Structure 1
Amino acid sequence: MSTRQVSDSNDPIIESRDQLVAPMIKGEKPKERWRIGTEHEKLVYCTSDHHAPSYDEPGGIRDLLDALTQYGWEPVIEGGKVIAMAGSDGTVSLEPAGQLELSGAPLETIHQTCAETGRHLDQVKAIGAKTGKGFLGLGMWPDKTREELPIMPKGRYAIMLRHMPRVGQLGLDMMLRTCTIQVNLDYSSEADMVQKFRTSLALQPLATALFANSPFTEGKPNGYLSYRSHIWTDTDPHRTGMLGFVFEDGFGYDRYVEYMLDVPMYFVFRDGKYIDAAGQSFRDFLEGKLPALPGERPTESDWIDHLSTAFPEVRLKSFLEMRGADGGPWRKICALPAFWVGLLYDQGALDAAWNLVKGWDMEGREALRAAVPKLGLDAPIPGGGTLRDIAAEVLAISRAGLNSRSRLNSMGDTEAGFLGPLDEIVRTGKVPAQVLLDKYHGEWGGDISRVYELSF
């Protein structure tokens, strides 16, 4: 989640509708300037007893962040506490219960993304080896209750933790117990954004299935392959889901603005502090009628903050965010941007992918989204068949798109090789969660602590 450090007294007040649409328009870039931004979270644990370290304990999360300074990272401070580290590889930040996230820099190729990921993991593993910390690439804590998890000292999280139980049953689980991989991608125009949004939203359940990696809750199988994905179905209906309006005629920037104006607020950032505005209306804020700040009207930065508080399966800001995948190990981190770049950054591949899904109706898309957390590749698709039936074809489209991009490494390889882990899933028919369940019921003998053998 985004991190704000200062309030800008020169930040323009929003006076017109144009300012609300401006962030999306400013995101338009010619193809040669398209970049890839990859975000990935991991679970941090103490190797001695597998507990999740608190922020302040010796060798805990604060010390882990501080140790990154040896690699050139600079601290980001909020309320006198280090809450993130900034550097040339992006930002290392904290999720609510201490999940560690790298929000990577915008890069030209997946070769660069994978190198960035490798540098980050090498750094945190070196720190972990000295401090007794390990890192797990899963979609959810496999053995921790909410009560066993620490809370990080970040202002917006305190507001969200209070608000989540008012609007859903599983929002606290989303905040405290889950991890994801995301990729952020560019568009050249409003029309290009629309085609990419529709295509990626329709196919997001396939990504969820291929990366499904959260089959355990509190030490036992939970009946799902991606419980993380299921959690989002009961987090907050006002800011999650499949966004049916994206597929309607006339969809564009302005319609997304309308959606965001109807998403209830979380907070307003003023003078270095987060003011609780949870459940209040940004429309009221525009009229100076926000109960949390009566008489004040929003600035452009307030709007940027608000855009970061919706969590649909695909999110629009000044780029498009793919949000459907569980956290996973190193090779899976690189596979996600490869999957989406192949589909969305080559026009031929984008057209082929859209042609595959454009006939799906909204009822079928919603049913697919609802089924995929439990069924994975066996979830039924609109018109008949299952995700398993189209997975190989979608990967072939993505591979063709990556090969067409022809972004080569020093060995002359294209980016298509990063799809290898996904090819293996389609070949074997088993998503990561099913492999974990086989281990749990087989060689692990029901001992969930064996999952820690899968550390990075």
Structure 2
Amino acid sequence: MSIPQSGGGPIERHEQLAEYLAAGCKPKDAWRIGTEHEKFGYCKHSLKPLPYEGERSIRAVLEGLRDTYGWVPVEEGGHLIGLEKDGANVSLEPGGALELSGAPLETIHQTCDEVNEHLREVKEVSDKIGVGFIGLGAAPEWMHDEMPLMPKGRYKLMNNYMQKVGPLGTTMMRRTCTVQVNLDFGSEADMVQKMRVALALQPVATALFANSPFFEGKKNGMKSFRSYVWRNLDDDRTGMLPFVFDDGFGFEAYAEYALDVPMYFVYRDGTYINALGQSFRDFLKGKLPALPGEKPTLSDWADHLTTLFPEARLKRFIEMRGADGGPWRRLCALPAFWVGLTYDQGALDAAWDMVKGWDAETRQALRVSAGEQGLAGEVNGLKMLDLAKEAVAIAQAGLKARARPGSGGMVADETHFLNALQDSVESGQTPADELLEHFDTDWNGDLKRIYPAYSY
């Protein structure tokens, strides 16, 4: 989850809302890649989720990273809630999952090195205190009451709100994990094309990375239970954003959409002020009940944008949000997939040609199918496996055209980071299919076998 935004002055003109988004436009040589991934922590001796405090705890892991590797602490209300270093940050998800929000980097080689270094640091610190971390889209066994709510003001407010707006809101907060990639755009037209491709192909990413077939100790009947959760929690701020495909879509249209999403909070002087369900439009008029007479700053607008959770999210960059958390190869494969599709114009055009004939109903049906059936899904004659094969091939061509070599030129380009996805499209198997096969065969239905087999 995002940290409070800063650096924005007062909003004096309505146009500033769209201008804030437009300020993300960058020349192509300044485009970067930011990879984020979440993972569940657990006590090795009990296989239970980590508490915030204690010998084996989230706080102990953060302190270990701080003291051993020079991460700078981030505190809120006297609690250690995150770390910062070299443009990256480590933060806590509401239920205690640990997230790396990577620095904006130039190549997949660099972002994968960053992921590997982070996982190495976490493992070294965790092994010393009897803690493990595992990459899955949903907690396989743990019940809601076993997952502690982390001591962040934002999460307390979200928890109260989520209990009211949908049946699975608090499940999302505590018991799901994802991997995301943040990508840049060069102009409004480039943003529009990338957002449309991102939303249309997000179900393909969901299928390729499906990795949550278990929940509360048993099979849940889906390949990505995380995707199911996101489809059933808060319609005001989630979904496939059909208006993005309307003529005239641009920064202004996204700003208008964001204005209609109910607020969570206003951040002032280190405190989250409850503005649950209130209107940013009223805030612009100085009529926000939470802060009567006060008008927002651009920092408030930036904070509000972080409380929207569509499948592709626009800020001053685009977030790809449709994939389950997973093993380390997939943590490198997701940025490779989306960079290949969107950072080469020929690949981006090919991806748009692939999806431009789909209507909103088709895109939504693909989203449902991806979560339920993974690569075996089919909608209106569109077979998910065929779509995945085509998308991975376009991504591979895009990475080849980028021709970004690894350190010392030992690797010619970034295409090898797609190998995990190539394996999936050749076999038709998602990570969830692999987990289910183990569960039904060599694990003999013992889900506790998942921890030693799939932890980092």
What's the TM-score once normalised by structure 2's chain length? 0.98
- Please tell me whether the aligned partners of residues 376 and 428 of structure 2 are also in contact (alpha carbons under 8 angstroms): no
SS of 2:357's partner is coil
- Please tell me whether the aligned partners of residues 277 and 292 of structure 1 are also in contact (alpha carbons under 8 angstroms): yes
- 2:30 match: 33
Q: What is the alpha-carbon distance in structure 1 between the residues aligned to residue 209 and residue 343 of structure 2?
A: 21
- Please tell me whether the aligned partners of residues 134 and 451 of structure 2 are also in contact (alpha carbons under 8 angstroms): yes
Deviates more, 1:56-65 or 1:131-140: 56-65
- Are positions 1:345 and 2:347 aligned together? no
SS of 1:134's partner is strand
Q: What is the alpha-carbon distance in structure 2 between the residues aligned to residue 406 and residue 13 of structure 1?
A: 43
Q: 2:79 aligns with which of 59, 78, 81?
A: 81
- 2:184 match: 186
Q: What is the alpha-carbon distance in structure 2 between the residues aligned to residue 417 and residue 206 of structure 1?
A: 19
What residue identity is the alignment partner of 1:302? D
- 1:370 match: 368
**Deviation sequence 1:306-339 (CA, Å, 0-9, x none):** 0000000000000000000000011100000000
Q: What is the alpha-carbon distance in structure 2 between the residues aligned to residue 233 and residue 208 of structure 1?
A: 12
Q: What is the alpha-carbon distance in structure 1 between the residues aligned to residue 98 and residue 85 of structure 2?
A: 15
TM-superposed deviation, 1:159: 0.1
Q: What is the alpha-carbon distance in structure 2 between the residues aligned to residue 412 and residue 310 of structure 1?
A: 38
- 1:56 match: 53
SS of 2:179's partner is strand
- Are positions 1:400 and 2:397 aligned together? yes
Q: What is the alpha-carbon distance in structure 2 between the residues aligned to residue 164 and residue 49 of structure 1?
A: 29
SS of 1:443's partner is coil
What residue identity is the alignment partner of 2:112? C
Gaps of 5+ in 1: none
Q: What is the alpha-carbon distance in structure 2 between the residues aligned to residue 413 and residue 71 of structure 1?
A: 32
Q: Which runs of 4+ in 1 moved over 6 A?
A: none
Q: What is the alpha-carbon distance in structure 1 between the residues aligned to residue 417 and residue 129 of structure 2?
A: 32
**Deviation sequence 1:350-403 (CA, Å, 0-9, x none):** 000100110111111111112221111122245x23111222121111001001
Q: Where in structure 2 are the equivalents of 1:3-402 lying within 5 Å?
A: 3-4=3-4, 11-69=8-66, 70-88=68-86, 90-382=88-380, 384-402=381-399
TM-superposed deviation, 1:37: 0.2
- Please tell me whether the aligned partners of residues 40 and 180 of structure 1 are also in contact (alpha carbons under 8 angstroms): yes
TM-superposed deviation, 1:293: 1.1
What residue identity is the alignment partner of 1:362? A
SS of 2:289's partner is coil
- Please tell me whether the aligned partners of residues 392 and 426 of structure 1 are also in contact (alpha carbons under 8 angstroms): yes
- Please tell me whether the aligned partners of residues 365 and 381 of structure 1 are also in contact (alpha carbons under 8 angstroms): no
- Please tell me whether the aligned partners of residues 89 and 116 of structure 1 are also in contact (alpha carbons under 8 angstroms): no
**Deviation sequence 1:227-252 (CA, Å, 0-9, x none):** 00000111100000000000000000
Deviates more, 1:410-419 or 1:299-308: 410-419
Gaps of 5+ in 2: none
What residue identity is the alignment partner of 1:281? S
Identity %: 58
Q: What is the alpha-carbon distance in structure 2 between the residues aligned to residue 417 and residue 402 of structure 1?
A: 9
What residue identity is the alignment partner of 2:165? V
Q: What is the alpha-carbon distance in structure 2 between the residues aligned to residue 271 and residue 329 of structure 1?
A: 39
Q: What is the alpha-carbon distance in structure 2 between the residues aligned to residue 89 and residue 211 of structure 1?
A: 27
What residue identity is the alignment partner of 1:192? D
- 1:449 match: 448
**Deviation sequence 1:210-237 (CA, Å, 0-9, x none):** 0000000111000110000000111100
SS of 1:166's partner is helix
TM-superposed deviation, 1:89: 5.4
TM-superposed deviation, 1:3: 1.4
SS of 1:234's partner is coil
What residue identity is the alignment partner of 2:16? Q
